[in-house]
Amino acid sequence: MAQHGRQLDERVNDISSTRHILVVSHTGRPDSIDAALEVCGLLGDAGVVPVLPRDEWDDIRRAQPTAAIDDVEILFDGVACDDLECVIVLGGDGTILRAAELIRGTRAPIVGVNLGHVGFLAESERDEMADTVARVLAADYEVEERFALDVKVTNRDEVVYETWAMNEATVEKASRERMLEVVIEVDGRPLSSFGCDGVVMSTPTGSTAYSFSAGGPVVWPAVQALLLVPLSAHALFARPLVVGPDSVLAVEVLSRTDARGILWCDGRREHDLPPGARVECSRSDQPVRLARLRTGPFTDRLVAKFQLPVTGWRGPAPVEDAPAVSGTSTSPTVAAPEGDR
pLDDT at 270: 97
Number of residues written out for the chain = 341
Q: Within 10 A of 209 (CB to CB), how many other CB atoms are there?
A: 24
313-337 pLDDT, tens digit each? 999 877 665 555 544 444 444 444 4
Q: Within 10 A of 94 (CB to CB), how many other CB atoms are there?
A: 18
CA-based nearest residue to 286, from 197, 165, 136, 122: 165
Average pLDDT across the chain, whole number = 89
Please tell us whether the domain made up of 149-283 is placed in CATH 2.60.40.10: no
Cα dist from 66 to 37, 51, 61, 63, whole Å: 11, 18, 7, 9
pLDDT at 163: 98
Using 50, 70 and 90 to split pLDDT, how confident is the model at 11? very low
Give buried/exposed letters for 55-86 (b at 16+ CB in 10 A, else e): ebbebbeeeeeebebeebbbbeeebebebbbb
Residues 20-146: name the CATH superfamily: Probable inorganic polyphosphate/atp-NAD kinase; domain 1 (3.40.50.10330)
Domain with CATH 3.40.50.10330 in the chain: 20-146
Of 82, 93, 300, 321, which residue is the catalytic one?
93
The angle at the Cα of 165, spanning 163 to 166, to the nearest 5 degrees, equals 150
User: Does 40 have pLDDT greater than 60?
Assistant: yes
Q: How far apart are CA 212 and CA 292, in angstroms?
A: 23
Domain with CATH 2.60.200.30 in the chain: 149-283
Q: Within 10 A of 123 (CB to CB), how many other CB atoms are there?
A: 22
Exposure of 137 in the CB half-sphere (CA atoms within 13 A): 18
Phi-psi category of residue 213: left, alpha or beta, with phi > 0 → left and psi -120 to 50 → alpha: alpha
Q: Is 272 a catalytic site residue?
A: no
Q: What is the model's pTM?
A: 0.85
